[in-house]
């Protein structure tokens, strides 16, 4: 499975396709400003909204890893953000909070 650290992802800038698969209540607490929210619970219905080559993030990397594996089984490419938003925030990278 393809993986990237939050620091490596941040270095790519904000013009990338970052998909946050956490549930809405989690995203409401803290989020990456440029990430698009597609909750894992809605993934089946919204799979076409995930661009080829997207970066996938969750809280700690587990759900996003399963999402990347699912996309790969469908013949698509995606990259897991290792450590998720938890690692992103711990690294001091920009977040938004309600």
Would you state the pLDDT for residue 98? 84
pLDDT value at position 32? 98
CATH class of the 3-90 domain in this structure: alpha beta
Q: What is the pLDDT of residue 75?
A: 97
Could you tell me which of 5, 38, 35 has the C-alpha nearest to residue 24? 38
pTM across the whole model: 0.96
pLDDT digits (tens, 9 = 90+) for 38-93: 999 999 999 999 999 999 999 999 999 999 999 999 999 999 999 999 999 999 99
In the chain, where the domains are located: 3-90
């Amino acid at each position: 499975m393809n993986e990237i650290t939050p620091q490596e992802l941040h270095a790519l800038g904000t013009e990338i396709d970052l998909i946050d698969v956490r549930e809405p209540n989690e995203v409401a607490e803290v989020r990456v400003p440029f990430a698009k929210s597609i909750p894992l619970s809605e993934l089946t219905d919204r799979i076409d909204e995930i661009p080829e080559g997207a970066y996938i993030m969750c809280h700690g990397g587990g759900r996003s890893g399963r999402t990347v594996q699912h996309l790969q089984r469908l013949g698509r490419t995606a990259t897991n953000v290792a450590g998720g938003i938890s690692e992103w925030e711990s690294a001091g990278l920009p977040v938004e909070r309600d």
